[in-house]
Amino acid sequence: MKALCWHGKKDIRYDTVPDPRIEQPGDAIVKVSACAICGSDLHLYDGFMPGMKSGDIMGHEFMGEVVEVGPATRNLKVGDRVVVPFTIACGGCEQCQRGNYSVCERTNRNKDLAEKAFGHSTAGLFGYTHLTGGYAGGQAEYVRVPHADTTHIKVPQGLTDEQVLFLGDILPTGWQAAVQCNIQPTDTVAIWGAGPVGQMAVRSAQLLGARQVVVIDRVSERLAMAAATGAITIDFEQESVVERLRELTSGKGPEKCIDAVGLESHAARSLDAMYDRAKQAVMLESDRPHVLREMIYVCRPAGTLSIPGVYGGLIDKLPFGASMNKGLTWRMGQTHVQRWSDELLGRIAEGQIDPSFVITHSEALEDGPDMYEIFRDKEDGCIKVVLKP
């Protein structure tokens, strides 16, 4: 079959690879009808996440039709139409039982590696380094879904692929980021990053009743997309984020701050950003935490920082004293995708949210290598890419 494979920094190829097979009795094979490129894939593309190997199949946001099931699979049958959550969950361990699917205790088959890096293993993830199991991803014609009984979302035929595809990642990610803020009707929610995750967080914060939602980025079409829903926008290259947020909150600062940027943050003319770039270049720091520093500084005391943005390793010069003394609450993590599936599918079916608004490019899978570049460089107004095998 054909698949998009990682071969090193900025080197994604449309390769011919062996078809996936049922390996465990609980597996299923899904024929992919649509998949997407996620901002998290860019961290691999840019070479910032450790643990990739040449030839690894990319992709963790995908859907399709079940074409084969293992003998122990109970909840799926051939012909079912499914979105596949990026978090592989067993459904039976203590964490899955609590709804903490992204830290499932059983699905990472490279537990030892993860324990060394993080102290504990987290869930297996599709197409996302050998630290999270080294599972083949879904930017491919076919994909093996391990623990298939609890690693799928069945979707009705009445909804299009574009409406439901993002249930596997960016929609629940924006939603969880907002839910973790425990939004009150008096709250200002500030969201750094107007990429696909930021866009979903904007809609989620609005649905959850925030007083005002403010979005920060520097890419004009991304800011415009957020503004179209009534969000206030700040271009961090044109104005001071801290000053503008204070103005918008009578000098008090936003109660809730969401980091939808992650470890590759940019910054306009700031000293700390130059410091991070220099340290990252000589590998003394793995992640650039400019957004975290800004959030700590501007967040109203007793407020909440919610962090869906991905970090991989070590960060430096974090004003932890400010965070401690202001009594900030930190919420973060890879998304517990399956926790939110029923509610979000319901909201899509009722027409409360149609996540397809974020798609700017729909292309063939073989165009994937070019689309990685276009998405990364934000060329051609690109906000979200969907690929069809």
Choose between 58 and 69: whose C-beta lies nearer to ligand NAD.
58
First to last CA, the chain: 10
Choose between 40 and 338: whose C-beta lies nearer to ligand NAD.
40
The answer to whether 95 and 105 are in contact (CB under 8 A) is: yes
Under the binding rule (CB under 6 A), the answer on residue 122 touching ligand NAD is no
User: Residue 380 CB, nearest distance to Zn ion (Å)?
Assistant: 21
Cα dihedral 152→98→128→316 (10° resolution): 150
Of 149, 150, 126, nearest in space to 139 by CA: 126
Q: Classify 1 as helix, strand or coil.
A: coil
Choose between 137 and 253: whose C-beta lies nearer to Zn ion.
137
User: What are the distances in angstroms from CA 179 to CA 144, 183, 307, 345?
Assistant: 31, 7, 12, 16
Choose between 40 and 360: whose C-beta lies nearer to Zn ion.
40
User: Per-residue x/- mask for ligand NAD, residues 140 to 179, rule CB under 6 A?
Assistant: -----------------------------xx--x------
Of 69, 63, 145, 138, nearest in space to 107 by CA: 145
Choose between 161 and 169: whose C-beta lies nearer to Zn ion.
169
User: Residue 180 CB, nearest distance to ligand NAD (Å)?
Assistant: 11
Sole binder of ligand NAD in the list 260, 299, 315, 371 (CB under 6 A): 260
Contacted by 306, from Zn ion, ligand NAD, none: CB < 5 to 8 Å by type: none
Sole binder of ligand NAD in the list 6, 128, 175, 236 (CB under 6 A): 236
User: Per-residue x/- mask for ligand NAD, residues 22 to 51, rule CB under 6 A?
Assistant: ----------------xxx-xx--------
Identity of the residue numbered 268: A
DSSP 379: G
Sole binder of ligand NAD in the list 124, 137, 138, 196 (CB under 6 A): 196
DSSP 140: B
Q: Of how many residues is the chain composed? A: 389
In the Cβ-directed half-sphere of 352, how many Cα atoms lie within 13 Å? 14
The answer to whether 360 and 33 are in contact (CB under 8 A) is: no
User: Per-residue x/- mask for Zn ion, residues 300 to 339, rule CB under 5 A?
Assistant: ----------------------------------------
User: Residue 307 CB, nearest distance to ligand NAD (Å)?
Assistant: 8
Residues ≥6 apart with Cβ < 8 Å to 252: 246, 300
User: What are the distances in angstroms from CA 185 to CA 24, 148, 182, 229, 251?
Assistant: 48, 39, 10, 17, 19
User: Per-residue x/- mask for Zn ion, residues 69 to 108, rule CB under 5 A?
Assistant: ---------------------x--x--x-------x-x--
Choose between 29 and 348: whose C-beta lies nearer to ligand NAD.
348
User: Residue 173 CB, nearest distance to Zn ion (Å)?
Assistant: 7
Classify the phi-psi angles of 8: left when phi > 0, otherwise alpha if psi is within -120 to 50, otherwise beta: left
User: What are the distances in angstroms from CA 386 to CA 35, 132, 364, 375, 383?
Assistant: 6, 24, 8, 11, 10
Of 91, 126, 94, nearest in space to 108 by CA: 126
Kindly identify the residues of this chain, within the stretch 40-59, that bind Zn ion according to CB under 5 A: 40
Q: Which stretch binds Zn ion (CB under 5 A): 1-9, 166-174, 214-222, 378-386?
A: 166-174
Give residue 332's Cα distance to chain centre.
Answer: 12
* Residue recorded with tokens 């699905």: 107
Three-class SS of 325-371: HHCCEEEECCCCHHHHHHHHHHHHHCCCCCHHHHCCEEEEHHHHHHH
Contacted by 197, from ligand NAD, Zn ion, none: CB < 5 to 8 Å by type: ligand NAD
Q: Which stretch binds ligand NAD (CB under 6 A): 91-99, 117-125, 194-202, 279-287?
A: 194-202
Under the binding rule (CB under 6 A), the answer on residue 289 touching ligand NAD is no
* Contact residues: ligand NAD, CB under 6 A: 38-40, 42-43, 169-170, 173, 192-198, 216-219, 222, 236, 260-262, 265-267, 290-291, 308-310, 334-335
**Could you list the residues that contact Zn ion (CB under 5 A)?**
38, 40, 90, 93, 96, 104, 106, 169
